[in-house]
């Protein structure tokens, strides 16, 4: 048995589960903290939809633009310096351009739609686009099959983008389902990445509509569970609220405590530990009582420096958990 002083985390191969701006930020931090090629980002695609005849993949694009260094720094999504002439022209044609697509962003959707029409899988199309933008790490969709998040509300069932963008996530959520999930399968690259990973990180993304769809792909949860990797989540809830998006409203409406304790309960049995913000330090004993290790640090990523510091903290936490596991053997 190796002693704790001699143990080191195996050659790091990291898989990050991500969706949305928070997930993209931590993925970017991990990219800065790791050697090129060491990171695979597994991205939610249940937000994907078609608009104006184009295949739109919001979470894939947010991650891709962020890792490529071209994301709009003010919004976290879209392309920096983009213009909106196409949307303005659609308005002149009397169309409701409720989902805003910048002119440079449109090029991504046009090319993706063409690649898919030529018979490429979503994984292949994503690789083509990301490589062209200079991304040196792997970005993988959670599956190549079409899956659609449906949000149940008192006014009926809404497509996710209707709920999130058109209606500004103002409806009370009573349930969430994923249409088509039964036919979905993890790609071979995904299974290979999970099998070979030394670390799996659940980014601070919405647990319901960013991480849950990934885990719902048949075979995905089992592949994560059987991986020998250390698995750590980063809470997207800080001080009783989500930093961005409707996660806190969803947690409250669906019966979960709006705190890192509620997040930990959703991931219980799947992760070894969770990182929470310093503001929530007093909640650590409640999480530890679930059998989950806890680490506290600043989780609010306002700058690139914050992103890489959180990434390094997460990797260090994983190393400490791996060392603890090795010593226990």
Span 37-59, pLDDT tens digits: 999 999 999 999 999 999 999 99
Angle of CA points 260, 143, 230, to nearest 5°: 45
Q: How confident is the model at residue 12 (pLDDT cuts 50, 70, 90)?
A: confident
Specify the pLDDT at position 245: 86
Mean pLDDT of the chain: 94
Return the closest-CA partner of residue 212 out of 270, 255, 157, 162: 270
User: Tokens 């044609």 sit at which residue?
Assistant: 93
Phi-psi region of 25 (alpha: psi -120 to 50; beta: other; left: phi over 0): alpha
Specify the pLDDT at position 328: 57
Average pLDDT over residues 96-122: 97
Q: How confident is the model at residue 1 (pLDDT cuts 50, 70, 90)?
A: very low
Collect all residues with Cβ–Cβ distance below 8 Å to 328 and sequence separation of at least 6.
none
Specify the pLDDT at position 323: 87
C-alpha–C-alpha distance, residues 30 and 20, integer Å: 16
Q: How confident is the model at residue 79 (pLDDT cuts 50, 70, 90)?
A: very high
Specify the pLDDT at position 329: 55
Specify the pLDDT at position 298: 97
Strands 175-179 and 148-153: antiparallel
**Does the predicted TM-score (pTM) go above 0.85?**
yes
């Amino acid at each position: 048995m190796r002693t704790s002083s001699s143990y080191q985390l195996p050659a790091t191969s990291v898989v990050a589960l991500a969706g949305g701006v928070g997930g993209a930020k931590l993925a970017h931090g991990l990219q800065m903290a790791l050697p090129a090629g060491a990171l695979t980002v597994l991205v939610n695609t249940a937000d994907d939809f078609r608009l104006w005849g184009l295949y739109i993949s919001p979470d894939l694009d947010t991650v891709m633009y962020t890792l490529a260094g071209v994301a709009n720094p003010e919004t976290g999504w879209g392309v920096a310096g983009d213009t909106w002439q196409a949307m303005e022209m659609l308005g002149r044609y009397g169309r409701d351009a409720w989902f805003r697509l910048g002119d440079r962003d449109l090029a991504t959707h046009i090319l993706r739609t063409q690649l898919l029409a030529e018979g490429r899988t979503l994984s292949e199309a994503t690789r083509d686009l990301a490589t062209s933008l200079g991304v040196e790490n792997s970005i993988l969709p959670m599956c190549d099959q079409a899956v659609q998040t449906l949000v149940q509300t008192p006014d009926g069932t809404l497509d996710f983008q209707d709920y999130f963008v058109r209606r500004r996530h103002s409806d009370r959520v009573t349930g969430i389902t994923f249409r088509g999930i039964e036919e979905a399968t993890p790609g071979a690259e995904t299974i290979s990445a999970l099998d070979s990973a030394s670390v799996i990180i659940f980014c601070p993304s919405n647990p319901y509509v960013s991480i849950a769809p990934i885990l719902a792909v048949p075979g995905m949860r089992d592949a994560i569970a059987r991986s020998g990797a250390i698995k750590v989540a980063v809470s997207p809830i800080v001080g009783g609220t989500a930093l961005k998006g409707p996660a806190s409203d969803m947690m409250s409406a669906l019966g979960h405590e709006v705190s890192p304790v509620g997040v930990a309960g959703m991931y219980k049995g799947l992760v070894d530990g969770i990182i929470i913000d310093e503001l929530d330090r007093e909640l650590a004993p409640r999480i530890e009582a679930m059998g989950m290790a806890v680490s506290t640090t600043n989780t609010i990523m306002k700058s690139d420096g914050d992103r890489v510091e959180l990434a390094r903290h997460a990797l260090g936490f994983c190393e400490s958990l791996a060392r603890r596991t090795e010593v226990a053997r």
